[in-house]
A and B are shown apart, each in its own frame.
Chain A
Amino acid sequence: MTDYAFMNQCLFEGKHEEVKKMTEEALAAGHPVQEVLEDGLIAGMRVVGEDFKHNRIFVPEVLLAARAMKAGMAILHPLLTENKDATPSEVIVMGTVKGDLHDIGKNLVGMMAEGAGFKIIDLGTNTSAAEFIAAVKEHNASILGMSALLTTTMIYMKTVVDAVKEAGLSSVKICIGGAPTGHKFAEEIGADGYAADAASAVELFKRLISEKTNASQ
């Protein structure tokens, strides 16, 4: 019998090795993938999210839990993709745009999103439109996240948006962030969303995914 409450607690405490082991054991014991995901991992992360929102825990604890989530997801990810009855785990391609080396914000967004069960493909800094497109194709990404901190480089986001459209990748949702950008700018360049910090970025990703799922149903 898998003790999901205990698994949630381990996840909350950031015990990534334990979470990985328990994920494997739950699957070996014959529990469905979707159940392990929801009751074992997501339920634990929900508490983390709530506690963070209410100032009971802080960024370090959230990231420790996110790392444990990632460890569990690494086991589940291939199965979720194979299994038609399960919700596939979504891939986000992230990068800081060409000419820009600022990556602190982008990295935080990536780590927080991992905590929500997303798989992150991090292209690092100074990323060209071609590199974004290649990665979206290769990993069949649902979301493309771009970061820019300079007024000189934020305009490159438009280049990427246009190139993605030109490449016919109409299903990938494009999100942007970074101090010089904003909702208005996102709209102007035809991106699908903007978020001001890592916590709201994760909310945005989740919303876009659920909109997409609803639209395709």
Chain B
Amino acid sequence: MRPNLQLLETSLIERIVDEALTVLEKTGVDLEGDEAIKRLLDAGLPVDATEKKIRFPRKLVEEAIQSSPSCVSLFNRDGDLHAQLQGESVHFVPASSALRVMDRTTSEIRDPTSKDLVEFAKVCDGLKNISYLATAFTPQDVPQDMADAWRLYLILAHSKKPVVSGAFTSYGVERMARIMAYFRKDREDLIQKPLALFTCCPNTPLRWGEDPLHNIIDCADWGIPIEIVPVLLLGMISPATTIGALVLHTAEVLSGLAIAQAIRPGTPVVFGGAPATFHMRLMTNPMTAVEALQIYCSYGQIARHLKLPSQAYMGLSDSKRNDAQAGAETGIGMFLAALSGINSVSGPGMLDYVNCFSLEKLVFDDELAAHALRFIRPVTVKDDLPTQELIAELIQERHLLTSEHTLQYWPEELYLPGPLIDRTNWDQWELAGSKMPRDQALEIIDEQLDNHEVEPLEPALHHEIQDLFRKTCKVKDVILPEFS
């Protein structure tokens, strides 16, 4: 049996979903952007164009849930299947879009550059427990109107793995889709074999802003899987209590899902989220707050009940530094996410309310992810029931170190952590140089950077993509930064 965390009884899940459908039908969702609204009308959605609002008939949403795939497949740069978000599968992926990075040599918090992002891609590409990549932060050395697509290009140039990303403007998705299409035969091939998962955020409560709405439409058109990520702040822009928040959250996700399905039935949609509490004194938005964790785990259950893949911002910390708080928050979040069967767990590497990315933290989080994944492996009988014979052998031999049973099972049963989890005794530790986690992390980063290999893109392809940037960037004659 796979260990499984459940916070809600099935009957309560049903009531929450039912109430969310009522909210969608009665209150409806506000929409922004005339062009996008027209697209929704053309797609047959019952939009009230003067009120700029959709009230979703219950049946429409129920059918949209049916037409959403229960498995979202992500393919790598070469077009090979890489990950399947479905059922109780768990994948860890770096959090996306930080504003700043923590410099790995000086620990200074500063603006990210293109070189930082390439380093990130190389390091992350080699981490065993981070399933795919994300556009973790936004380089500041390019004109910002092209920054969203530039990040994606840098990642794709240095890793074959799929990417979690998203656009910053109403027109952002299309340029990013065109870049991804270079890695496929044609547009149809990209739809069949998606290379990225894009975040689209409703504007809580129950609004779709112009940019995210355009983004959903463009993603659906290009077959890009969409993770719908409401950001409720409990007590501020959401009921402070769990059930109320879950109803609002669910309604918002389903509204995005229904829109995506109307544009192109079968568009892969992931039930995502980044709920946080609202700190009643500091006015900050901790995503790692214990009540937020309850919301994450609960909506994971709701997603599974609806047979939709899930995503959550859970393996991260709101601490400013790679300190005890960072380790605790990240580890707790990752274990709860894994136990809840969240399919795509965003977070590794992130600090400070998704504002600051740390490479050092990323490699540490890779180790935490290994632990969480190990923990949820189903417990099964392994020639150890009945046990009497094994115990007899132990008593006779005084140990089982050389037993057939041990030799067969220990390599897969007893996980040996990497150097970041210190298992030395005091003397061993001193003898090895009294290293702190940070020293170990830096060594791992250097090693990853030295050993990283990925088939480089053809110069002609670099050229073509960079040309696309030059042509579409709002800054005339833009000079693209060197990055490798």
Q: Which residue numbers of A lie inside 8 Å of B, CB to CB?
A: 52, 55, 58-60, 99, 101, 104-105, 108, 125-126, 150-152, 155, 179-180, 197-198
Contacts and interface: CB of A to CB of B under 8 A. Distances in A.
Contacts of A155: 144
A180 B145 CA distance: 15
Interface in B254-305: 278, 280-283
Contact of A179 (B99, B168, B236, B237): B99
A105 B355 CA distance: 15
A131 to B, nearest CB: 16
A154 to B, nearest CB: 8
A150 B283 contact: no
A29 B313 CA distance: 58
15 contacts: A55-B281, A58-B281, A59-B281, A59-B283, A99-B169, A101-B203, A101-B209, A104-B236, A125-B209, A126-B210, A152-B144, A152-B145, A152-B147, A179-B99, A179-B355
A193 to B, nearest CB: 18
Contacts of A197: 282-283
A168 B409 CA distance: 79
A180 B99 contact: yes
Interface in B161-179: 168-169
Interface string B382-403: 0000000000000000000000
Given A152-B144, A197-B283, A104 B237 contact: yes
Nearest to B279: A59
Nearest to A58: B280
A152 B168 contact: yes
Given A59-B278, A59-B281, A101-B210, 9 more contacts: A58-B280, A58-B281, A59-B280, A59-B283, A101-B209, A151-B99, A151-B144, A152-B144, A152-B148
Interface of B: 99, 138, 140, 144-145, 147-148, 168-169, 203, 209-211, 233, 235-237, 278, 280-283, 353, 355
A45 to B, nearest CB: 17
A125 B203 CA distance: 12
A69 to B, nearest CB: 18
Residue among B138, B233, B283 with the most chain A CB within 10 A? B283
Contacts of B168: 150-152
Contacts of B145: 152
A60 B233 CA distance: 14
Contacts of B283: 59, 105, 108, 197-198
What are the 9 tightest A-B residue pairs by CB atom distance, in nearest-first order? Answer: A58-B280, A101-B209, A152-B144, A152-B168, A180-B99, A59-B280, A151-B138, A151-B144, A58-B281
B324 to A, nearest CB: 24
Contacts, number: 44
A52 B281 CA distance: 8
A155 B142 CA distance: 12
Nearest to A178: B99
Contacts of B211: 99, 101
B233 to A, nearest CB: 7
Nearest to A52: B281
Contacts of A99: 169, 211
Contacts of A59: 278, 280-281, 283
Contact of B169 (A55, A152, A180): A152
A155 B138 CA distance: 14
A150 B137 CA distance: 12
Nearest to A199: B283
Contacts of A55: 281
Nearest to A103: B203
Contacts of A198: 283
B147 to A, nearest CB: 6
Nearest to A60: B280
A198 B280 CA distance: 12
A59 B210 CA distance: 30
A64 B209 CA distance: 29
Q: Which of A55, A151, A152, A180 has the most CB of B within 10 A?
A: A151
A48 to B, nearest CB: 13
A207 B320 CA distance: 29
Contacts of B147: 151-152
A203 to B, nearest CB: 14
A174 to B, nearest CB: 20
A162 B353 CA distance: 31
B33 to A, nearest CB: 10
Contacts of B353: 179
A101 B235 CA distance: 20
Contacts of B281: 52, 55, 58-59
A193 B203 CA distance: 28
Q: Looking at A99, A108, A155, which has the most chain B CB atoms within 10 Å of its CB?
A: A99
Contacts of A108: 283
Contacts of B99: 151, 179-180
Contacts of B169: 99, 152
A145 B138 CA distance: 25
